[in-house]
Chain A
Amino acid sequence: MLPILHAVQAEFGHVPAEALPQIADALNISRAEAQGVMSFYHDFRDHPAGRHVLKICRAEACQAMGSDALAEVAKVRLGVDWHGTTPNGALTLEPVFCLGLCACAPAAMLDGQVIGRVDAARVDAIATEAGA
């Protein structure tokens, strides 16, 4: 089920509501079960994200290096809260709990690319480059 959901999201950017009954049929499970699995995992979205997704780590090691303040900078710069997308659809801001980059904290991930030792200037550059 997870490989299917990952593949659907990779193709469409989210898991469309109409995909779930088809997945349920193929796996011979109820639609409720399919919905239950999809909604359990943080990764799967039921609506499209922005053109770019910036994940900022909120876990302890990054906090020890100022990730809380960094997240505030990002929220103000983008004008969104966690899980929010800028009005022009350029960038979605998401929290993540640990990217395994704890020795080069604070860490972030932009569309699957890891970034270490992120600072306010870097967040601003990312936002500008993404058109946000």
Chain B
Amino acid sequence: MRIYVPRDAAAKAVGAEAVAAAVRAEAAARGLPVELVRNGSRGMVWLEPLLEVETPAGRVAFGPVTRADVPALFDAGFGAHPKALGLTAEIPFLKKQTRLTFARVGVIDPLSLSEYEAHGGLAGLRKALALSPEAIVAEVTASGLRGRGGAGFPTGIKWKTVLGAEAPQKYVVCNADEGDSGTFADRMLMEGDPFTLIEGMAIAALAVGATRGYIYSRSEYPDANEVMAQAIVLARAAGVLGPDMLGSGRAFELELRVGAGAYVCGEETALLNSLEGKRGVVRAKPPIPALQGLFGQPTVVNNVLSLAAVPAILAEGGAAYAAHGIGRSRGTIPLQIAGNVKYGGLFETGFGITLGEIVNDIAGGTASGRPVKAVQVGGPLGAYHPQADFGLPFSYEDFAGSGGLVGHAGLVVHDDSVDMLRMARFALEFCAIESCGKCTPCRIGAVRGVEVVDRIAAGDAAAIPLLTDLCQTMKLGSLCALGGFTPYPVLSALTHFPDDFATLKEAAE
């Protein structure tokens, strides 16, 4: 019997280790030959720990399972049980998705290279090894893939720039510094299907002529780092990485590096400085990292999700990927639904689904049962959207047009108990704590911003124009997105929820 209990951090956080131990103990006590697989998460976090059993009809799921449920599950022969959910693939939350990047996450043993290959892994890399660098870049360009870290820059164009740069050494750097609140797709992918990221980086290396790569992850992700580090060792031992990738004679060495709690290191130039062993201070652009990146050499810096989308693009063709999505937002986007929601987790789908469909139909509204007041899209630097925005299709252009951003596609839902002035203050406080200090609008502006919000809270309405003016300065004058985008949550809170900025003043009067 093959039983799956996820090793994903979100599953562990709600008791998966205890469930796994109980399964082992129960199988041993009954003398049953059980193969326990520690898979990634299917992304239905409200059902974690989600236990699955392989049957002739397919995998069946039980969840959320506690340690105490395990003996009864064995007694029932993993059949009828109050926690039975039926065939995993038929669970509506999963069935409605289009899983390209996350196709294997939750399905396979993350550290089994043979299962990885059996589920289509390495097909993209094999194809890339037979192509010229120009042809690989052309395929990625045709897919319409844009930077999933938040900036949305076309990946093919970035690669073309690095390919065209002459240098003795080029690098591929994966930005896995997923610090945005409400985002966890990078973590889930690294924990659930790390070979996909390795394969994507190897393809990027072939495309641009790089021979070394780094994954820059976070110290807040010990579980992801453990899986990723093991996967790199396994890939190297199997000849997927190393001096002779899959017997091609092409070299690519990959290393995992772990940050140290600085949010700003998710900004690509700060990340490069941190990788070089320096303070994680932002660099002025130009020069762009594609021409002068790590150690001054041409460097591809891509997000985990951008690189992890590449193997499928090479294997199935750029056109197949571009067939999903709307407008200039092509392909699929792994949405991360979090905060005060009934059904939180990862939902990969083509661009174009509306915000309202995500929040009401997929996430099932709030966990508290109270009305939704605001949805922050794109992390701590993303705008707060009111219910009036629920018709917005999920795409780079539509969100930019509404004064917001897609970011890393995390959505944090707040119910009507949230105080938006408090959230605006938090955005500025966070910016003040995390500012690298390089540019004045961010370093000083964030601190002054907190003070100005406090004045508004104390009833000084004259401070409101001061706040909008300050935000304008930060937006236009900051070197990077930290100072430049902090005005998004602040101004959207002020614009859409003015009552929260007036209550105390009115109370004072």
What is the interface of chain A, defined by CB distance below 8 A to chain B? 1-3, 5-6, 27, 33, 36-37, 40-44, 59-65, 96-105, 107, 109, 112-117
Decide: B261 and A104 in contact? CB cutoff 8 A. Answer: no
Contacts of A44 in B (CB 8 A): 260
Contacts of B281 in A (CB 8 A): 40
Contacts of A65 in B (CB 8 A): 339-340, 367
Closest Cβ neighbor of B191 among chain A residues: A100
Q: Can you report 23 A-B residue pairs in the complex whose CB atoms are below 8 A from each other?
A: A1-B277, A27-B277, A41-B261, A41-B280, A42-B260, A43-B219, A43-B261, A59-B380, A60-B380, A61-B182, A61-B339, A63-B426, A64-B414, A65-B340, A96-B220, A98-B181, A100-B9, A102-B339, A103-B338, A104-B10, A104-B48, A112-B222, A114-B9
What is the interface of chain B, defined by CB distance below 8 A to chain A? 9-10, 12-14, 45-46, 48, 178-184, 186-188, 219-224, 257-263, 274, 277-281, 336-341, 344-346, 367, 376, 380, 410, 412-415, 418, 423, 426, 430, 434, 436
Decide: B336 and A102 in contact? CB cutoff 8 A. Answer: yes
Distance, CA A113 to CA B16, complexed state (A): 12
Decide: B13 and A107 in contact? CB cutoff 8 A. Answer: yes
Decide: A60 and B258 in contact? CB cutoff 8 A. Answer: no
Decide: B14 and A61 in contact? CB cutoff 8 A. Answer: no
Closest Cβ neighbor of B220 among chain A residues: A99
Distance, CA A5 to CA B261, complexed state (A): 13
Nearest CB in chain A: distance from B487 CB, A: 16
Contacting A100 at CB < 8 Å: which of B221, B258, B260, B436?
A: B221
Nearest CB in chain B: distance from A79 CB, A: 24
Contacting A97 at CB < 8 Å: which of B12, B181, B277, B367?
A: B181
Decide: B13 and A101 in contact? CB cutoff 8 A. Answer: yes
CB-CB nearest 3 A-B residue pairs: A103-B344, A1-B277, A59-B181
Contacts of A62 in B (CB 8 A): 181
Given A41-B260, A43-B261, are A98 and B220 also a contact pair (CB < 8 Å)?
Answer: yes
Given A101-B9, A103-B45, are A40 and B181 also a contact pair (CB < 8 Å)?
Answer: no
